[in-house]
């Protein structure tokens, strides 16, 4: 019995779709490989030049950063909540690495959220045991969308801290009372009746996640 061996050739449209899918799949795999290699290279560089970054907070982290959050109690406006993520600065000379970088978030008693760019300075030649070592953190407003077009970088915050077990013991150096009015409103620099506060706020940043911080923030005031 004769067998029908006719095979329908794929149309040019189907061939184009197959080639496109193959190209997209191949590109995705290459991008994934590049990403993994880049991450491993970054970890290797930190392991060589910044081994202390894996031990911030007094214990080992597989990734070279530390993050935590805490409540800042103001006697006038009430409670602020601060989140920080700190890591080695990639642009620092490898033989120094006294500078660090990161990101911060601050929510006010009014429920306003401020995204902050973060820098930090630590003692040079820091070993893997950071407990008891000092840290200076400075932050200013840095919104997600078009930050380069925002001329007002307030709030500015400069704070000093000391590493403890899984936490940072902090002093805000009157930063809150300079950055916010008594009702928790951000000081923009345009209020003629503004009087800088003198209150020092002592607080603790405990190791934790951004979701922990976000859950602790008060509801936004209408």
155 within some domain:
yes
Rounded CA-CA distance 214/174 in Å is: 24
3-state helix, strand, coil in the chain (%, to 5): 25, 30, 45
pLDDT tens string 85-99: 999 887 555 445 468
Tokens 């911030």 sit at which residue? 56
Question: Quick one: pLDDT at residue 75?
Answer: 84
pTM for this model (two decimals): 0.78
Question: Quick one: pLDDT at residue 112?
Answer: 94
Between strands 156-164 and 78-88, the pairing is unpaired
Question: Quick one: pLDDT at residue 124?
Answer: 75
Domain shared by 43 and 67, yes or no? no
**Number of structural domains the chain divides into:** 2
Range of the domain at 38: 11-49
Domain shared by 96 and 167, yes or no? yes
Cβ–Cβ under 8 Å, residues 84 and 65: no
Domain shared by 132 and 64, yes or no? yes
pLDDT tens string 145-172: 776 666 788 999 999 999 999 999 999 9
């Amino acid at each position: 019995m004769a067998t029908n061996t006719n095979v329908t050739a794929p149309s040019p449209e189907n061939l184009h779709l197959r080639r496109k899918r193959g190209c997209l799949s191949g590109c995705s795999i290459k991008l994934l490989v590049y990403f993994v290699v880049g991450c491993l290279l970054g970890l290797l560089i930190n392991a060589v030049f910044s081994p202390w970054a894996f031990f911030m907070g007094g214990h080992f982290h597989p990734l070279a950063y530390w993050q935590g959050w805490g409540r800042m109690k103001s006697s006038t406006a009430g409670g602020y909540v601060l989140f920080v993520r700190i890591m080695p600065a990639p642009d620092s000379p490898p033989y120094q690495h006294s500078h660090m970088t990161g990101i911060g978030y601050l929510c006010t008693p009014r429920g306003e959220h401020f995204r902050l760019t973060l820098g930090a300075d630590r003692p040079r030649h820091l070993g893997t045991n950071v407990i008891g070592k000092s840290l200076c953190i400075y932050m200013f407003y840095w919104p997600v969308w078009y930050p380069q077009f925002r001329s007002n970088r307030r709030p500015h915050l400069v704070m000093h801290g000391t590493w403890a077990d899984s936490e940072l013991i902090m002093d805000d150096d009157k930063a809150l009372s300079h950055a916010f009015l008594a009702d928790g409103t951000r000081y923009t620099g345009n209020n003629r009746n503004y009087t800088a506060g003198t209150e020092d706020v002592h607080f603790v940043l405990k190791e934790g996640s951004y979701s922990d911080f976000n859950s602790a923030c008060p509801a936004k005031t209408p």
